Amino acid sequence: MSAAQIESLNPTTDDFAAMLEASLETSNMKEGGVVTGTVTSIEKDIVIVDVGLKTEGRIPIREFYEPGNDDTVKVGDRVEIFLERIENALGDAVLSRDKARREESWLKLVKDYEAKTPVQGAIVGRVKGGFTVDLGGVNAFLPGSQVDIRPVRDIGPLMDKVQPFMLLKMDRPRNNIVVSRRAILEESRAEQRAELIESLKEGEEREGIVKNITDYGAFVDLGGIDGLLHVTDMSWSRISHPSQILAVGDTIKVKLIRINPETQRISLGIKQLSEDPWMSAVARYPAGTKLVGKVSNIADYGAFIELEDGVEGLVHVSEMSWTKKNIHPGKMVSTSQEVDVVVLEVDQEKRRISLGMKQLQDNPWDSFAERFPVGTIINGEVRSITEFGLFIGLDGEIDGMAHLSDLSWDKSGEEALGDYTKGDMVEAKILEVDIDKERISLGVKQLTKDTGAGPAAARGKTVTCTVTEVNRGGIEVKFGDDGAETKAFIRKNDLSRERSEQRPERFAVGDKVDARVLKTDRKTGQVSLSIKALEIADEKEAVAQYGSTDSGASLGDILGAALKTDKE
């Protein structure tokens, strides 16, 4: 027997300690726990692991595979193994690397979840509604909506790639874990946006790429952060839609107008890169300047005329034609049509230029007043009939109006109006021409003198009354034939156009007075008379025939001249 053999039969104290430690380790091993083992050999697709039991365990090599790591296991490695059974029917230990990794990962994931720390994992498969992510031995569910900030069409480049995920939900009893890759990207993007916004300054110019176009503007990528280019900031000229000048993918130069660090919103502009043409508009377009412009837009109230890039003026519908008043601007001009205009007014603060078209044409009201002075008898066609009179067509495509009170001496206005139909040719006298208001007053009954025939109380008729009673509020009168007298009351303020003469006491019972019929109530038969209205009508007629009172002649002088002329 050799010395070594003799020595082995006589173990030392250290040997006893080592054997005791091994025995304690073996006795502390329990099924269902994680133990540390040593890889003793690798046979094809089986890894042999010694965990200090009577026999070694055999584990499929696939359980040692880790996404993104080709060197999974080698002989001599110390590995964590899950001990399912110390000995099976064949006397072998039943071990699992997968379960050990899962157990180990769960403990770590719980800590990361509580600390809201991102974890590393890899997308390894596709399932209904999303994907499976390997978090180091523990499978988690990645919903399709949590893959990226925007929908991802091709998931291929992301498969089997180790990358960070955020733990959204953990349920150990159900072995359920939900993760998000989108949360990581959003957090990273928020940090990048904050850093980029700090580097930006209002007023500086940058290049960007058009990412999206909407009805109200375009979103431009400035290199990690988007800015809004509103349609009103694209050009000094009118733009109906951003797609007129931009397309997705265009690289454009923009100016940073406003930056809001709190909301991280950035407003961009293109037109601000060039000078505002309105700054010199007043100097270039003084009132009275004649121009040629192009119709850029038509509205119900007028037409916008482009005078140059970024400068437009408005021709209001009232400034388009002297005679066409109630017509839509679209029937007089069309979009893109070139028209002659004249500048009426420039308001630089409000950025408005008022233009006119009719001012470049002869004013038919001026020429009409020259050719047809007050008192002229004309012929015209009834263009329309309204409740207050007739509109009669005159030379120069203008209309005059004969009020229903000026249609007949003998009939009420409503009755006289019924004698006319649209298209009738009528003869009338010009009573008044107001060029500023573009209004011509005509009279039909003025072609003849008042004979006193017809209804005694026809509107506008002059009647001779007899005072029957005087009181504080006015005078009571009667008029008409003895067999058909009509009683009426003239109010105090209708006794004269002069306030000092509006005194009922200046009249006496039996006095004869002339008054004008204002109206007759057909239901009650009550007649309203006015001496004041008659005085005003007489003066108007006198002025029309014998000239204006501006010459210094008094009303009495004019009426005296009128009476003298009538006698002659």
| Most confident range, picked from 132-141, 159-168, 346-355 | 159-168
The pLDDT of residue 1 is above 70: no
Q: Give the model's pLDDT for residue 87.
A: 60
Residue of higher predicted confidence among 473 and 91: 473
Return the domain boundaries, the chain. 3-100, 200-273, 277-360, 364-447, 462-561
568: pLDDT confidence band, cut at 50, 70 and 90?
Answer: very low
pLDDT in tens, 198-215: 778 888 888 889 988 898
pLDDT the model gives residue 496: 92
Residue 77 has pLDDT above 90, yes or no: no
Residue ranges with strand state E in 214-264: 217-221, 226-230, 251-260
pLDDT single digits (tens) 292-340: 989 988 888 899 988 887 788 899 988 888 777 778 888 889 988 989 9
How are beta strands 265-269 and 226-230 bridged, if at all?
parallel
Mean residue pLDDT across the chain: 79
Q: What is the pLDDT of residue 550?
A: 45
Residue 308: enclosing H or E segment and its boundaries? strand 302-308
- Mean per-residue pLDDT, 517-546: 78
d(CA 231, CA 211): 15
Given this model, what pLDDT does residue 32 score? 54
* pLDDT for residue 90 is more than 60: no
Its CATH architecture, for the domain 462-561, is Beta Barrel (2.40)
Distance of alpha carbon 185 from alpha carbon 197, whole angstroms: 18
* Residue 30 confidence (pLDDT) above 80: no
In the prediction, which pLDDT does 27 show?
44
Q: What is the pLDDT of residue 88?
A: 56
CA distances from 179 to 137, 152, 189, 437 (A): 15, 17, 18, 78
pTM of the model as a whole? 0.40
Question: Which of the 8 DSSP states describes residue 236?
Answer: S
Which one is the CATH code of 200-273: 2.102.10.10, 2.60.260.20, 2.40.50.140, 3.40.50.300?
2.40.50.140
Q: Which residues pair with 83 in a beta bridge?
A: 33, 95
User: Which has the minimum average pLDDT: 72-76, 82-86, 177-181?
Assistant: 82-86
Residue 523: predicted pLDDT: 55
> Cα–Cα distances in Å, from 297 out to 294, 306, 329?
9, 9, 10
Residue 514: pLDDT band (50, 70, 90) is very high
pLDDT tens for residues 443-458? 888 888 654 444 556 6
Q: Are 75 and 39 in contact (CB under 8 A)?
A: yes
Superfamily designation of domain 3-100: Nucleic acid-binding proteins (2.40.50.140)
**What does the pLDDT read at residue 180?**
92
What percentage of the chain carries pLDDT values higher than 70?
Answer: 79
Please tell me the CATH code under which domain 364-447 is placed. 2.40.50.140
Give the pLDDT score at 553.
44
Domain 277-360 in the same topology as domain 200-273: yes
- Which position has the higher pLDDT, 28 or 341? 341
CA distances from 420 to 386, 392, 408, 532 (A): 11, 11, 12, 31
> Cα–Cα distances in Å, from 322 out to 2, 343, 362, 537, 544?
138, 17, 9, 30, 25
DSSP bridge partners of 433: 440
342-385, pLDDT tens digit by residue?
A: 999 888 778 888 999 988 887 787 778 888 888 888 888 888 88
Provide the pLDDT confidence category of residue 266 given band limits of 50, 70 and 90. confident
HSE on the CB side for 155, CA within 13 Å?
A: 21
Q: Which CATH fold topology does 277-360 show?
A: OB fold (Dihydrolipoamide Acetyltransferase, E2P) (2.40.50)
Q: How far is CA 83 from the centre of its chain?
A: 70
pLDDT given for residue 509 in this prediction: 92
